[in-house]
Structure 1
Amino acid sequence: MLDLALPTTLGATAVAYRLTCPLARDDALSARLISSAVLCALCTGLVLHVRRGLLRELWRTRRVAEAVQSALLRPPPPRVDGLAVAAVHLSADQGARIGGDLYEVVATEHGVRVVIGDVRGHGIGAVGTVAAVLGSFREAAHDEAELAGVLRRLERAVARHLRERAGDGHAPGDAAADCPVAEEFVTVLVLEILPDGEVRALNCGHPWPHLLSGARADPLARADPLPPLGPFPLPPELPVVPCGHLLPGDALVLHTDGAEEARDADGRFFPLRDVLTEAAREHPPTPGAVLRTVLEALLHHTAGPPEDDVALLALGNERPPRPAPAEARGPARSAAADLHPTDHLQFPA
């Protein structure tokens, strides 16, 4: 009723002016100018009212969209089981906060488990697949004792989602229809960090993370990845790749291929490893500082928003150093025990 009150009032005013005001029926030039000014003022008020209503509705829609997007690709907590965590995501679609990239970090009884992935395509059309992968990971990370079991669950979730997509019969012009189901795939990296810092991973066509340690940035592993999820089934055996240890003070940076493949005006790729090496020189390399360094360098390199979605996830080991095993301390303690107690004390003269 309130939204209709102002347009009704302006319309009634225009009609009343036209029917009752003598100036509206006067053919003199001055009277016509006054009538035109009055009608223009009334029309301007009506246009401003409509514009204000559309902007208010747009603001409400954006708030709802941001709430939905934040619930789907929620920001990770700053600390997860002694690990400092930071993440950043850049969508290729202007105005969208999420697209075809995904990540999640959860603490489980099996260790800290992490996933990062990249759906074919970008923007809103890939959100459905992102939701299927993230929803499956958040359940499987707690339920599955082995990392291979987590990946199997992700494979089944993607296959189920693609079957449902194939049966939907997308209408022409649908954003999701631009990416045929038969050609869809998801690159995924799942890894777990055990309490002693040991890192194990399974990689399905995704770029390997970089380990920042001792002013160096090196790939976490160099093993050949498994095929992406979607077009082909995974092999019967899924051997987990041992990736060493994430020691206290070290950082691990996971990323999607949008970071490595970002180009400048001359077509040169973004030197991600060089930027990470520069960031690793600050010891310890905190996740937030590392991502700020990479993000600033990336935006400077591309001179604007990237053409593909970019996701960056950094984890830093802030756990206290674990005490040495008892057997490692045994000889030292036995040698000390051979000394007389007074040999450890000095008495005043």
Structure 2
Amino acid sequence: MIRSRAGAPAGARLPTRTRAAFRALVRAGPLRVLALRGDPRRLRRGLSLGLPTLWGAVAITYKMACPLAQETGLGARIVSSAVFFAVGTGLVLHIRHTLLRELRQMRKIAHAAQNVLLRPLPPRVDGLAVAGGQLSADRGAGVGGDLYEVLTTEQGVRVVMGDVRGHGLGALSTVAAVLGSFREAAHDEAELAGVLRRLERALARHLRERSRAEHPAGGGAEPDSPLAEEFVTLLLLEIRPDGEVVALNCGHPWPYLLSSTPGPRGPRGRAERLAGGEPLPPLGPFPLPADLPLVRCGRLRPGEALVLHTDGVEDARDRRGRFFPLHTALAEAVRVRPVVPQALIHAVFAQLLRHAGGLPADDGALLVLANDRRRVVVQQGEPIRRPAQRAT
């Protein structure tokens, strides 16, 4: 049984003064924005202020003016708890909606920044079908320390694939510096070695600028600064008009050559890693040697494809600690002819996620270049599927 205090019957209406004050609050407060027309931004801003005010006004009015709120019985307490629970739920849902709207806006901004930094590749480049993709170790992230780019130049198609040590904004700024330099040097430099030296100078300049910004009084990187240990692994490729492939490798994994041969049970996929010998040291810790001999990789023939990757793909482990079998995944994916680069990337990443049981511990990137020309100029030279040799 609900007991009422003296002078406050359970069914009493709100006092005239309280009702008038509440109506004045509604008319004069932020709720007036509900009547605005023509400016969506003002309407959203008003709603963001008006709805919390409405919930607060309901709670205050109930507590101060409702006779039931003054009761001490069990039933009155249950009703009061339900009212305040409803008010709290409304506020939480409003805050959640606001945060989700801000998150969607931030994702749009991040996606636009990603397209500028690591812009989408064209589907075809000078007779090659091209596709690239990244798999970030952080949920919701679109850009990491991996980089790639494919450009058409007078010398042929030039490709860069790299991996920046580290994560966060520092790695992103390094990616931007390296990619920006490559996009200029690939067109300006006649030799691939000149492109690599331009990238080395751009990275050194970027690290010096970061060092000054992080240690303005020191005039350079401190001995324990992580900049002193930052480096970038790079693989530069040049695919010439006749299909010949030459490379310069600075500590990066060598790519795979995909091909298929007919068999009694259908096409048999083959994935072979190009053997280019000992690579150069990564950019950053040590200067490049004076002599930069090109590694000749033979020719990319019609129906074959090159798959460039970062070490985050092969280093992904399952619960037992076993590495991801990228070689086997590529051989299975190449059974479908002709090779469709985007479909191949999706198939490999799907297998990687199943292998790792979710997102991997490190970022990974794949870049596929498939030669779908019907024929190519034939000259003397070793086929690309043979181990690559250094040019003399």
Question: Normalising TM by the smaller chain, what interval?
Answer: 0.7 to 0.9
* Secondary structure class of the residue paired with 1:102: strand
- Contact 2:243–2:377 (CA under 8 A) maintained in structure 1: no
Equivalent in the alignment of 2:144 = 99
**Counterpart for residue 82 of structure 1:** 127
Of 173, 185, 201 in structure 2, the residue corresponding to residue 128 of structure 1 is 173
Query: Over residues 265-313 of structure 1, what are the superposed CA-to-partner deviations in whole Å (9 max), with x where a residue is unaligned?
Result: 2222222223323334444433234323422332232222111111111
Q: Where in structure 2 are the equivalents of 1:47-86 lying within 5 Å?
A: 47-86=92-131
**Change over 3 Å in CA distance of 1:23–1:169 after alignment to 2:** same
Partner of 2:282: 228
Q: Does structure 1 residue 23 correspond to structure 2 residue 68?
A: yes
Change (3 A) 1:314 1:13: same
Query: Quick one: which of 375, 386, 392 aligns to 1:321?
Result: 375
Deviation at 1:212, TM superposition (A): 1.6
Aligned counterpart for 2:206 among listed residues 154, 161, 164: 161
Instruction: Map 1:99-248; keep pairs closer than 5 Å.
Output: 99-122=144-167, 125-169=170-214, 180-214=226-260, 215-248=269-302
Change (3 A) 1:5 1:204: same
The CA deviation at 1:126 is 1.7
Q: 1:262 to 1:323 in 2, by over 3 A?
A: closer
Deviates most, 51-60 or 189-198 = 51-60
CA displacement, residues 183-202 of structure 1 (integer Å, 9 cap, x when unaligned): 11000001111111111111
Whole-angstrom CA distance in 2 between matches of 1:92 and 1:179: 25
Identity %: 65
**One-letter amino acid of the structure 2 residue matched with residue 143 of structure 1:** D
- Aligned in 2, Cα 1:170/1:101: closer, same or farther, shift over 3 Å? farther
Runs of 5+ unmatched residues, structure 1 = 172-176, 326-349
Provide the C-alpha distance between the structure 2 equivalents of 1:179 and 1:119, rounded to a whole number of angstroms: 16
Q: Aligned partners of 1:262, 1:229: CA distance in 2, in Å? A: 24
Paired residues of 2:333 and 2:344 also in contact (CA < 8 A): yes
Asked whether 1:292 is paired with 2:343, we answer no
SS at match of 2:318: coil
SS in 1 for 2:205: helix
Q: Residue 122 of structure 1 contacts residue 309 of structure 1 at CA under 8 Å; is this kept in 2?
A: no
Give the deviation of 1:129 after TM superposition: 1.1
Shift of 1:143: 1.6
- Tell me, in whole angstroms, the C-alpha distance in 1 between the residues paired with 2:226 and 2:197: 23
Q: Distance in 1 between matches of 2:72 and 2:328?
A: 78
Q: Is the Cα contact below 8 Å between 2:276 and 2:295 reproduced in 1? A: no
> Is the aligned partner of 1:263 residue 2:317?
yes
Q: Which residue of 2 aligns with 1:46?
A: 91
Which residue in the other structure is 2:306 paired with?
Answer: 252
Q: What letter matches 1:288 in structure 2? A: Q
Question: Residues 56-80 of structure 1, C-alpha deviation per residue, up to 9 Å, x if partnerless?
Answer: 1122112211221232122211111
CA gap 1:123/1:2 in 2 versus in 1, 3 angstroms: same
CA distance in 1 between partners of 2:378 and 2:237 (Å): 26
Matches of 1:179 and 1:255, distance apart in 2? 29
Which residue of structure 1 aligns with residue 28 of structure 2?
none
- SS of residue matched to 2:133: strand
Residue 274, structure 1, aligned to residue 359, structure 2 = no
TM-score, scaled to structure 1: 0.84
> Which residue matches 1:35?
80
- String of CA shifts for 1:115-144, please: whole Å, max 9, x gaps: 000111245552111111111111111121
Say how many residue pairs are matched.
Answer: 320
Q: Any idea what the Cα deviations from partners look like across 1:223-261, whole Å, max 9, x if unmatched?
A: 211110000111122122111111111101111111222
Q: Which residue of 2 aligns with 1:302?
A: 356
Q: Is the 8 A contact 1:96 1:123 kept in 2?
A: no
CA separation of 1:294 and 1:43: change in aligned 2, threshold 3 A: closer
Does structure 2 retain, via aligned residues, the 8 Å contact 1:207–1:255?
yes
RMSD of aligned alpha carbons:
2.4
* TM-superposed deviation, 1:95: 1.9
- List structure 1 segments (4+ residues) > 6 angstroms apart after TM superposition: none
Closer, same or farther: CA 170–66 of 1 in aligned 2, 3 Å = farther
Secondary structure class of the residue paired with 2:175:
helix
After superposing the two structures, state which structure 1 stretch, 203-212 or 22-31, moved more.
22-31
CA contact (8 A) 1:92 1:123 kept: no
C-alpha separation in 2, matches of 1:274 and 1:263: 15
- For residues 80 and 339 of structure 2, the distance between their equivalents in structure 1, rounded to whole angstroms, comes to 71
Give CA-to-partner distance per residue, 1:28-78, whole Å, 9 cap, x none.
Answer: 443343333323322322222222212211221122112212321222111
